[in-house]
Amino acid sequence: MAYTLEGETGSWEVVCGLEVHAQVISKSKLFSGASAEYGAEPNSQVSLVDAAFPGMLPVINRECVAQAVRTGLGLNAQINLWSRFDRKNYFYADLPQGYQISQFAHPVVGEGKVEVTLPDGSTKEIGITRLHLEQDAGKSLHDQDPTKSFIDLNRSGVALMEIVSEPDIRSPEEAGAYLTKLRQILRYLGTCDGNMDEGSMRADVNVSVRKAGEAFRTRCEIKNVNSIRFVMQAVEAEAKRQIGIWEAGGEVVQETRLFDPSKNETRSMRSKEDAHDYRYFPDPDLLPLVLTQDFVDGLKTHLPELPDAKTARFVREYGLSAYDARILVMEQATADFYETLAKGRDAKMAANWMMGDFFAALNRTSTTIETSPVSAANLGALIDLIADNTINGRIAKEVFEAMVETGDHPADIVEKKGLRQVTDTGAIDAAVGAVLTANADKVAQYKAGQEKLFGFFVGQVMKAMAGKGNPALVNEALKKKLA
């Protein structure tokens, strides 16, 4: 079912396109050797180029270009062997050059596409219009002093990729799914850490509304939204605002807006500037960016396996459902953990342990795959102890909890706590006999047709054996005695 919003005049369709700014992972900035690392003392990572001292010349960082090309390849996009840097002119207190070096008419990456998966499991393709490289600006700090603002230029000149989507997005959910997928691809590629809290990925959200079958109407752009949830909320809030305007007989004017999550509304920031307002022109300090096909092919050969391919392989090789496979490939580290675990073991059982007890433990203890006290090797050893009948499934849960607490190897925990499964049929028969004798009334009911009581007997025998009885043997012994 297509997503629509209901107004007084009937249903409205939402149209949305996203411009995502993704900070490139690289040691140094796009045109200078200063460090691009996040979180340093203000103004401790500023070269003369970043501070725009007179006579300083930019020199392109080869690794940043490689990162943009890798990203383009990961987005199934056209790589332009010839591209160019332009100056985008505007004044900002934290933009010492008075212009931003960007790419306007000739971006390094052209059209591509991303397949997103929606919560109901269906998929949709979102077109990529372009990806270009540009410099980030510095940062104004307004909360340090009651009367003054300060400028931190550490971020000035850091490389950004601006990734522009086609207006193919039709609901808040699709916007969320697109951003989630884009972030996942960037993280797999190692080209952006996708950390929206630190601002290394942020989105400008373009929204318009229309009646089914109409051409696009005027859009508004909501600037710098810094979480996936806020993007989804902003799409809906802005669409509703525009519907209100159209239905009151008004006209939506193209403008730049801000989203206020505390009020769940957008508000006007400034009227939208057009490209010609920026007086774009080719940067005379830089030559066109010319790549060889060999350079691009070399990067392509070394791309990691990306989420879609990995999901398909997990379904094929491990017999997982597409749903389970998608959860396990969400992060590269999770996928690697799973493959270590599944290797030489029951793949479905490995998936169940990971997505059940293991993920729950990560949540509960606020740890990640990387910091988890339970390693893939140890979780694998636990599965092996179940598979070779050393312990039963129920005791395995207890052993797992001890592993989370201590980080110990499961075999050590089993020995120390005496949790080995009892397969000695003499001991099992004795326990079964005792339980049936103590519950003569229930045995009579069972024999009179109350077959549900079988579960009760199993429970009692297991309890008598401190949970350590082999379930299959206990069942067998009970069946024989009750027959």
222-251 positions binding ligand ADP, by CB under 6 A: none
- Residue 153 CA neighbour count, 13 Å, CB half: 20
Distance CA 274, CA 271 (A): 10
Q: Looking at beta carbons only, is 19 or 173 nearer to Mg ion? A: 19
CB of 221 to Mg ion, least distance (A): 6
Q: How many CB atoms lie within 10 A of CB 213?
A: 6
The length of the chain in residues reads: 483
In the list Mg ion, ligand ADP, none, the entry touching 185 (Cβ below 5 to 8 angstroms by class) is: none
Distance of CA 358 to the CA centre of its chain: 19
Q: Looking at beta carbons only, is 19 or 476 nearer to Mg ion? A: 19
12-71 positions binding Mg ion, by CB under 5 A: 19
In the list ligand ADP, Mg ion, none, the entry touching 68 (Cβ below 5 to 8 angstroms by class) is: none
State both tokens at 268: 């006007």
Query: Applying CB under 6 A, does 18 fall inside the site for ligand ADP?
Result: yes
Stretch that binds ligand ADP, among 15-23, 276-284, 346-354, 439-447 (CB under 6 A): 15-23
Distance CA 133, CA 87 (A): 12
Distance of CA 177 to the CA centre of its chain: 9
Query: Applying CB under 6 A, does 165 fall inside the site for ligand ADP?
Result: yes
CB of 206 to Mg ion, least distance (A): 7
Cβ-count burial of 295 within 10 angstroms (0-12 exposed, 13-18 middle, 19+ buried)? middle
Q: Looking at beta carbons only, is 127 or 471 nearer to ligand ADP? A: 127
In the list Mg ion, ligand ADP, none, the entry touching 216 (Cβ below 5 to 8 angstroms by class) is: ligand ADP
Q: Looking at beta carbons only, is 280 or 359 nearer to ligand ADP? A: 280
Distance of CA 282 to the CA centre of its chain: 36
Reduced to 3 states, what is the DSSP secondary structure of residue 235? helix
**From 7, 42, 110, 167, residue interacting with ligand ADP (rule: CB under 6 A):** 167
**From 26, 200, 206, 311, residue interacting with ligand ADP (rule: CB under 6 A):** 206
Query: Applying CB under 6 A, does 16 fall inside the site for ligand ADP?
Result: yes
Asked if 177 and 170 touch (Cβ cutoff 8 Å), the reply is no
**From 208, 332, 372, 390, residue interacting with ligand ADP (rule: CB under 6 A):** 208
Size of the site for ligand ADP (CB under 6 A): 14
63, containing H or E segment: helix 62-74
Distance CA 173, CA 161 (A): 24
Residue nearest to ligand ADP (CB): 17
3-state secondary structure 259-306: EECCCCEEEEEEECCCHHHHCCEECCCCCCEECCHHHHHHHHHCCCCC
Stretch that binds ligand ADP, among 165-173, 406-414, 429-437, 439-447 (CB under 6 A): 165-173
Query: Applying CB under 6 A, does 183 fall inside the site for ligand ADP?
Result: no
Distance CA 440, CA 15 (A): 71
State both tokens at 133: 């490289």
Q: Looking at beta carbons only, is 273 or 305 nearer to ligand ADP? A: 273
Q: Looking at beta carbons only, is 164 or 362 nearer to ligand ADP? A: 164
CB of 272 to Mg ion, least distance (A): 8
In the list ligand ADP, Mg ion, none, the entry touching 350 (Cβ below 5 to 8 angstroms by class) is: none
Residue nearest to Mg ion (CB): 19
In the list ligand ADP, Mg ion, none, the entry touching 165 (Cβ below 5 to 8 angstroms by class) is: ligand ADP
Stretch that binds ligand ADP, among 46-54, 160-168, 227-235, 367-375 (CB under 6 A): 160-168
Query: Applying CB under 6 A, does 164 fall inside the site for ligand ADP?
Result: yes
Q: Residue 176: name the closest of 293, 3, 57 by CA.
A: 3
Asked if 71 and 161 touch (Cβ cutoff 8 Å), the reply is yes
Distance CA 270, CA 258 (A): 9
Q: Residue 464: name the closest of 440, 428, 415, 437 by CA.
A: 428
Stretch that binds ligand ADP, among 14-22, 36-44, 356-364, 455-463 (CB under 6 A): 14-22
Q: Looking at beta carbons only, is 124 or 420 nearer to ligand ADP? A: 124
**CA end-to-end distance (rounded Å), the chain:** 55
Size of the site for Mg ion (CB under 5 A): 1
Q: What is the pattern of x (binds ligand ADP, CB under 6 A) and - over residues 19-38? A: x-------------------
Alpha helices in 343-424 (DSSP H): 347-353, 359-364, 376-387, 393-406, 410-417
Q: Looking at beta carbons only, is 17 or 72 nearer to Mg ion? A: 17
Distance CA 196, CA 181 (A): 14
Contacts with ligand ADP, residue ranges (CB under 6 A): 15-19, 164-167, 206-208, 216, 219
Instruction: Kindly list the residues in this chain that would bind Mg ion in the complex (CB under 5 A).
Output: 19
